[in-house]
Chains A and B, each alone.
Chain A
């Protein structure tokens, strides 16, 4: 019977496990993937290598050379303190991304297990956490952050904790939505029967499934975290003088903008806008993987 010798290449192609990257390219078109990933990589590399690059000292004030328009010597001009805006924009990548990433990771590390537990245990605990996350989702983010920072003191750590605080509900909700349908799946029942402790089940069996959605949500949360941190430092909270950070640079330049000195505010804003744009694009690309899997 000829039937069961199917041509080798067709079956392989249909069901073989291609690398995540391959599937991402296949789902979204090559140039879109390459462009976004490349640009984001450029920004991260610039951020990491900032001190080694041939840039001017980002925190060197020069009162005599303050508010100079963009020129060959100062690519993005200078701000009111006379510091080089271009160098500060590049160095700000460190401050913004580091703060954003740490707050998102903390948020995820707390939110994901919480979501997994509440999804798996169900009952009053699940109800309670969902209700609490819904309430906190509604909190006015910037206002509440201001209140907390006013209460707990305006330090960098507090800023990271506040922004992390806002990420917890995002991740707990997401993980819970992945975990709930898994509760009845056979291998989870099997593990239960084999008297694997509840925590073991949740962390070894269930949580790994939620890794891809969590992983794909990370860049988007980073995007929101960067915007939030910039917003807070625009209000003078968090980053101290003279650390280069986009939000505080925009605020420093804001007053001059009306009098025609646009560059101290516009360039950090552009950098912030580009980073958030790229992060949300990358998150979409990763999300397209998740959709295909479930």
Chain B
């Protein structure tokens, strides 16, 4: 009967196809002469115009595509990676500098015969002057750095000299001006693409990089991949890799697999479970570096019941700090102990009274007038396995003091926007303190009306301490101020300090030369591939 024979034939073809496919272990990748560093990243680059980039992915690309004013020196830790030495500053786009009349003025010497990679124009003081004009004109991220550094005026004092004027001495100037957005762009090329409704050519610059950095973009397939080429005329010499391919792989597991299969050299933003699985894989190494990245749960201190300080303190006692550290982070990173990270300067663990003590929590709740507990909605960003695991643990421990926690995963865009408009009742995310200075953190996060004060928190006494910290250069004075800073925040407890996260990155065994920067951005320049393997 033709039906039956048809079926047998079909079955036969299937078996043969399977065996054939299995047998031909053609290498999955096409080998190429040039050495390319392939990095699997989670999402597409938002913009190539540094002042307007909000997400880590764009910051990282801009760090490597533009030449920043300054950079940190780096030292070897002997554990297979180097770390940025926050204390020593090196010049990058700026060759040398010196402070004048008591740190009120700074004379900058711009590095000579450096060239914009795509246009070939040499970098001059005009580019820097235009950079400052654009900062003021676009009222964007770069302007915040300029104002926080208390710069009042930037004037061009020669073809390759600039002078910056300060209202007060600025302890954070260098940490701010090594940021990835503080980098000159070819103002002539930018000027050609100005349009009637876009005088600073933001639309063109978001798609086109005209920098003088270590790499420059040669191809960009939105949603698929971006390829950077090494800038052969870079002043510190060409990078080891000819090209860097940023391959967009939204699924974190897929990124981990690509690394394990050897199809990519580095996989970023992986969950602890994936990193745990990769630790056992051959030819793969996972670097775990302690950083000042804290998992923080912020309260909206204006809405009851979280406007009551006793309630906030009660919740501080209801956090199982040890369990989170051992269970979720598998003992890596550190147990959090206050607003200043444990490894930060001026950190004082003795000031931290909170521990996992449900009795105390219940007592405080009673005092606060909520013996039978209350409902609380915790917003978190989707696709963050770590945050979700911590939230689930908190949900359980809070329920033991009759606080009903509802976890609400939101899309990252909505989560970020609602942070700005204070619409969360409670939120949780990991926060990275770029600058190891309580004043800077206070200025950014705890001061009344601060840009990232997503708690609507206000404590005038604390504001005064932060103001003093922002102009204090003498270390002894800073230590005294830092102590009151920590006491105030700990007693007020506007946020819960849940854990200090290690920065973990997985890469092929043969990739070396990794430098850990304070903002956890991946710097492609120092990386190289060990050939002896």
Contacts and interface: CB of A to CB of B under 8 A. Distances in A.
B392 A81 contact: yes
Contact of B327 (A62, A258, A260): A62
Nearest to B271: A255
A240 B380 CA distance: 12
Interface string A54-95: 000001111110110000000000001110000000000000
Nearest to A256: B273
A100 B382 CA distance: 26
A240 B393 contact: no
Nearest to A82: B327
Contacts of A256: 273
A241 B408 CA distance: 8
B90 interface: no
Interface string A228-267: 0000000010001110000000000011101110000000
Contacts of B392: 61, 81, 241-242
Contact of B409 (A81, A241, A255): A241
Interface string B295-330: 000000000000000000000000000011011100
B257 A258 contact: yes
Taking each of B273, B323, B385, B392, which has the highest tally of chain A beta carbons within 10 Å of its own beta carbon? B392
A236 to B, nearest CB: 6
A65 to B, nearest CB: 8
A254 B252 CA distance: 11
Chain A, interface size: which category?
20 to 34
Contacts of B252: 255
Contact of A240 (B324, B382, B389, B406): B406
Interface in A159-194: none
B389 A259 contact: no
A240 B277 contact: no
A63 B407 contact: no
Contact of B326 (A64, A240, A258): A64
A260 B276 CA distance: 12
B396 interface: yes
Interface string B392-434: 1101100000000011110000000000000000000000000
Interface string A128-149: 0000000000000000000000
Contacts of A63: 323-324, 326-328, 389, 393
B391 interface: yes
B274 interface: yes
B75 to A, nearest CB: 35
A260 to B, nearest CB: 8
B253 A258 contact: yes
A66 B327 contact: yes
B46 interface: no
A215 to B, nearest CB: 37
A104 B395 CA distance: 32
Interface string B266-284: 0000010110010000000
A80 B388 CA distance: 10
Given A60-B396, A241-B407, A255 B274 contact: yes
Taking each of B252, B273, B407, which has the highest tally of chain A beta carbons within 10 Å of its own beta carbon? B273
Contacts of A67: 273
A67 B409 CA distance: 22
A80 B406 CA distance: 19
Nearest to A254: B253
Contacts of A80: 273, 385, 389
Taking each of B251, B253, B324, which has the highest tally of chain A beta carbons within 10 Å of its own beta carbon? B253
A34 to B, nearest CB: 33
Contacts of A60: 396
Contacts of B328: 63
Contacts of B408: 240
Contact of A259 (B274, B324, B326, B396): B274
Given A240-B408, A241-B409, A255-B252, A64 B323 contact: yes
Contacts of B395: 59, 61, 241-242
B396 A61 contact: yes
Interface in A192-245: 236, 240-242
Interface string B209-253: 000000000000000000000000000000000000000000111
A81 B326 contact: no
Contacts of A254: 253
Contacts of B251: 255
A258 B396 CA distance: 29
Contacts of A260: 277
A259 B273 CA distance: 9
Contact of A81 (B271, B382, B389, B406): B389
Nearest to A62: B327
A62 B274 CA distance: 19
Contacts of A66: 327
A255 B273 contact: yes
A67 B276 CA distance: 12
A53 B15 CA distance: 47
A236 B382 contact: yes
Contacts of B388: 241
B291 to A, nearest CB: 21
A64 B327 contact: yes
A38 B388 CA distance: 39
A258 B251 CA distance: 12
B393 A61 contact: yes
B391 A241 contact: yes
Interface in B78-111: none
A221 B388 CA distance: 33
Interface string B248-262: 000111001100000
Nearest to B378: A241
A254 B407 CA distance: 21
B109 to A, nearest CB: 52
A191 to B, nearest CB: 52
Contacts of A258: 253, 256-257
Nearest to B272: A80
Contacts of B324: 63
A236 B393 CA distance: 19
A199 B257 CA distance: 63
Interface of A: 59-64, 66-67, 80-82, 236, 240-242, 254-256, 258-260
Given A80-B389, A241-B391, 10 more contacts: A60-B396, A61-B393, A63-B326, A63-B327, A80-B385, A81-B389, A241-B409, A254-B253, A255-B253, A258-B253
18 contacts: A59-B396, A60-B396, A61-B389, A63-B327, A63-B389, A63-B393, A64-B326, A64-B327, A80-B385, A81-B393, A236-B409, A241-B392, A241-B409, A255-B252, A255-B271, A258-B257, A259-B253, A259-B277
Enumerate the 8 nearest inter-chain pairs by beta-carbon distance, A residue then B residue, closest first.
Answer: A63-B327, A259-B277, A255-B253, A241-B407, A64-B327, A61-B392, A63-B328, A81-B392
